Amino acid sequence: LQNYSSEGRQYHDIQSLEEKFKHFSSIKSQLKNPVAVGFALFFQYLEYNPKSIDYNKKNIELFTTFFSDCELGLESPLYSEVLSLLEAADTSSTEEHKTDGAIGSEDRHYFLDLDMVVLGSEPEQYAAYAEKVKQEYHFLPQPVYNDLRVKVLQNFLQIPNIFATKEFRDKHEAQARSNIQKEVDSLK
């Protein structure tokens, strides 16, 4: 847990991880392999550096080392499933995100939705999240950060579904779109 408490982490920290696990608890019964999703949630941002483009690869390596050190077997289905989830985090979307009306129900859909759930939080919580993300990118000049952030946020607004699963979409999609649009407007 030390990594999640390291200096410079404003959003991708222990509090964010705890929040994801709270949501995880509420959908755990929907998962085919909750243990794999739990491992993936923990390892997804274990190593995080906003200046790096390969932190996801590093986290896969850390998970592989952990799994190997525990002698759980790199040929096991659990290892393969966690690896698949961590690899899905690279794109953060599936066909169900990109296809209007499509609904996902696989573990990877829930895993990705858990990563995005903060986008659909109450406006005050979203504003705090947006400020923390901004602090993590303190090294960028403000105009550069604003331009890059707007591009990322507009990508969410352009896809039909921010959330792939019915549970997350029904509960968070409308609020996420409202939060994102408000932030985009504030950055322009």
The tens digit of pLDDT for each residue in 63-103 reads 999 999 998 888 999 999 999 999 999 888 999 999 999 99
pTM for this prediction: 0.94
Percent of the chain with pLDDT over 70: 100
Which residues, including other chains, have CB under 8 Å from residue 130's CB and lie 6 or more apart? Answer: 183
Please state, in angstroms and rounded to a whole number, the distance separating the CA atoms of residues 171 and 92: 19
67/39 Cα distance (integer angstroms): 10
pLDDT at 64: 96
C-alpha to C-alpha distances, 104 to 31, 39, 45, 97, 118, nearest whole angstrom: 12, 20, 23, 8, 19
Q: Count of residues for the chain?
A: 188
DSSP state letter for 162: S
